[in-house]
Structure 1
Amino acid sequence: MSRIEPVRVSSRDNPLLKDLRRLARDGAAYRRMGRLWLEGDHLCVAALDRGMQPAAAVFAESFWPTAPQRLAEACPRVYLVPDALMAEASGLESPAPMGFVLPLPPVSEAAPGQPSVVLDRLQDPGNVGSILRSASAFGFRQVVALKGTVALWSPKVLRAGMGAHFALSLVEGASSADVASLGLPLLATSSHQGTWLHRAALPWPCGWMMGHEGQGLDAGLDALAAMHIRIAQPGGEESLNVAAAAAVCLHASAATQLAGQR
Structure 2
Amino acid sequence: MQPVTSLTPEPVLITSRDNPQLKELRRLSQDSTAYRKQGRVWLEGDHLCRAALQRGLRPALGVYCESFWARSGREWGPHAHRNLVVPDALFKDLSGLESPAPLAFVIDLPVWDGPQPGVPTVVLDRVQDAGNVGSILRSAAAFGFAQVLALKGTAALWSPKVLRAGMGAHFGLRLLEAQAVEDLDGLDLPLIVTSSHQGALIHQQTLPWPCAWAMGHEGQGVGEALMARAALSVRIGQPGGEESLNVAAAAAICLHASAVQAH
Once structures 1 and 2 are overlaid, which stretch shifts more, 68-77 or 97-106? 68-77
Structure 1 runs of 4+ with >3 Å offset: none
Alignment partners' CA distance in 2, 1:237 and 1:148: 27
Q: Does 1:104 align with 2:109?
A: yes
Counterpart for residue 247 of structure 1: 252
Matched with 1:14 is 19
Aligned equivalent of 1:83: 88
Q: Residue in 1 aligned with 2:3?
A: none
The Cα offsets for residues 229-249 of structure 1, whole Å up to 9 and x where unpaired, read as 111111111111000000010
* Aligned-residue CA RMSD (Å): 1.2
Higher mean C-alpha displacement, 215-224 vs 65-74: 65-74
Q: For residue 51 of structure 1, report the CA deviation from its aligned partner.
A: 1.2
If the length of structure 1 is used for normalisation, what is the TM-score? Answer: 0.95
In structure 2, the residue matched to 1:61 is: 66
Contact kept, 8 Å, 1:108 with 1:170, in 2: the verdict is no
> Match for 2:193: what amino acid?
A
Q: Quick check: 1:206 aligned with 2:225?
A: no
Q: How does 1:210-249 map to 2 (within 5 A)?
A: 210-249=215-254
Question: Which residue in the other structure is 2:31 paired with?
Answer: 26
Match of 1:47 in 2: 52
Contact 1:112 1:181 in 2 (8 A): yes
The secondary structure found in structure 2 opposite 1:67 is helix
For residue 2 of structure 1, report the CA deviation from its aligned partner: 4.9
- Check the 8 A contact 2:112/2:174 in 1, yes or no: no
The aligned amino acid for 1:198 is H
Q: Which consecutive unaligned segments of at least 5 residues does structure 2 have?
A: 1-5
For structure 1, list consecutive stretches of 5 or more residues without a partner in the other structure: none
1:184 match: secondary structure: coil
Report how many residues are paired: 258
The answer to whether structure 1 residue 130 and structure 2 residue 135 are counterparts is yes
Q: What amino acid sits opposite 2:98 in the alignment?
A: E
1:131-174 per-residue CA deviation (whole Å, 9 max, x = no partner) reads 00100010000000001111111111111111111100011111
Amino acid at match of 2:117: P
Aligned identity (percent) is 62
Displacement after TM superposition at 1:113 (Å)? 1.1
Q: What TM-score comes out, normalization by structure 2 length? A: 0.95
Contact 1:60 1:98 in 2 (8 A): yes
Q: Of residues 156, 159, 172 in structure 1, which corresponds to 2:164?
A: 159
Deviation for aligned residue 1:65? 2.4
Please name the residue that 2:182 is paired with. 177
Q: Work out whether residues 108 and 169 of structure 1, in 8 Å CA contact, stay in contact via their aligned partners in 2.
A: no
Q: Distance in 1 between matches of 2:75 and 2:125?
A: 38
> What CA distance in whole angstroms lies between the structure 2 residues aligned with 1:242 and 1:207?
16
Structure 1 distance, partners of 2:177, 2:118, is 18
* Secondary structure, aligned partner of 2:124: strand
Deviation at 1:70, TM superposition (A): 4.2
Please give the alpha-carbon distance, in whole angstroms, between the structure 1 residues aligned to 2:73 and 2:194: 44
Q: Distance in 2 between matches of 1:208 and 1:71?
A: 39
